Structure 1
């Protein structure tokens, strides 16, 4: 059993759920690379979390996850600092304006798909390559037969919009359905190497994703979304969700692979 702390890359870590995720991992003694494109906000977040005195080690990495070179720098910096990366949480995401297909702004479509899907793919690709690296890498995974495998975990933060057609606009909805496909494909491809990939699908959450909404310019699907909201049981707690994600990344989650877990207080059960 390795004695060095495990390490994780968390994207979108400057605020909201990403910040809560990074804090939870640090509480558990993990080494955490906090990734965000907003440099000032990221720096302030790292300073704030570090001041709390958690046993883990924080590393701030300013990066654009939609750019291949910038995304690659996340892993090179994390490996240089921590020795290796054991887990990835794809949390970075942006919302659309609830536009339906016929009215969807093409530039916004491209931006949402770029951040929510392409960014998750680029980081997942790099994570798998890191997990499969053999030179100097310490395996964290031993199956029930005692066989040591590569190990490594990815958790994609998806959404209940990955199950419904009327929970968001066409761009966000498409991106989250696609993230579930990315999750399943990755899980199936690398299960025998001990690499796991799961998705967590929150319902309503009080995060920064809606901070920049201009509710006066919402698209055709907005009224449908508001109707669906009427049967919501309320907002989920980011700290509880963070504990679930940390569980999925840790040793006790090694038997969970390819799972899609709804965290919506029963919203999609209605």
Structure 2
């Protein structure tokens, strides 16, 4: 019998925004599968969060989200530990080198698309299958009392999905495609109560920036610096994490197919 406690898979959870999102769910009493490819960082982050004594339960799952078998193992381990999966947060992502189309290295293009888009697709595919699985405990019904399977997917996209000068061509293309993945998923499974939304952050102080190699940058990097000069600054990861939890929770059940900018007005400039 599945637990009545809600459970969520958060990718990229060893550091930065993913860790912050995982922390917020744990504070709210959710069971959280923290997924990351960096084993040492993942172990340290999981132990740190467990030590804080939050009501929720943390499970560390080392995995490569670009590998189909590895992604299947994420769901197998989460269901074995928590009974079922109620939400997925696709937060794992990597940057490019701000190169334009003509100068973009093919290997890096493939890597960025593999992590940012293909990984989100593979996880979303199995999340939908899990939400529709026979015998899964139903968490909610609609206003008419019709029973629906429910389940929520949050894709962390970027304002690069709206601005050609906010990143390089690989990152921009990957995040633009994530919006298509989001809206298609929301439309296809609306009648089953499965919700899918995208959040598009602007600048944030996360590990994706801290670990970035600033050598050999492309010409688009200068346009990003110009935006920085007139923007309102970096967004707060804690507030964004609370938005993610809201969208996955009971009060967010009427929101699906939404693309939400969290950028302190970057795209308004």
**Which TM-score tier does this pair reach, normalised by the shorter chain?**
over 0.9
Aligned pair 1:226/2:229, yes or no?
Answer: no
Figure out how many residues of one structure are paired with residues of the other and give that number: 268
Q: Show the 5 A alignment for 1:110-259.
A: 110-135=110-135, 137-259=136-258
Report the CA distance between 1:204 and its aligned residue: 0.4
What residue in structure 2 maps to residue 54 of structure 1? 54
After TM superposition, the structure 1 stretch with the greater mean CA deviation from structure 2, 203-212 or 186-195, is 203-212
Query: Using the alignment, how far apart are the partners of 1:216 and 1:76 within structure 2?
Result: 40
Q: Does 1:82 align with 2:121?
A: no
Q: Which runs of 5+ in 2 are unaligned?
A: none
Could you tell me the TM-score, scaled by structure 2's length?
0.98
> Alpha-carbon deviation of 1:161?
0.3
3-state secondary structure, aligned to 2:173: helix
Asked if 1:99 is matched to 2:99, the reply is yes
Provide the TM-score with structure 1 as the length reference: 0.98
What is the CA deviation profile of residues 42-74 of structure 1, one whole-angstrom value per residue up to 9, with x for unaligned ones? 000000000000000000000000000001100
Superposition CA RMSD, Å: 1.0
Q: Distance in 2 between matches of 1:3 and 1:255?
A: 24
Q: Distance in 1 between matches of 2:212 and 2:154?
A: 27
Q: Secondary structure at the match of 2:230?
A: coil
CA contact under 8 A between 2:35 and 2:61: conserved in structure 1?
A: yes
Q: Distance in 2 between matches of 1:218 and 1:83?
A: 46
Deviant stretches of 4+, over 4 Å: none
TM-superposed deviation, 1:213: 2.5
CA drift of 1:3 comes to 7.0
Looking at structure 1, the residues matched to 39 and 184 of structure 2 have their Cα atoms a distance apart, in angstroms, of: 33
- The SS at the match of 1:230 is helix
Separation in 2, partners of 1:22, 1:214: 26
Residue aligning to 1:11: 11
- C-alpha displacement at 1:214, in angstroms? 2.9
Provide Cα deviations, 1:77-103, integer angstroms capped at 9, x if missing partner. 000000000000000000000000000
In 2, distance between residues paired with 1:215 and 1:26? Answer: 34
- Structure 1, unmatched stretches of 5+, are none
- Partner residue, 1:263: 262
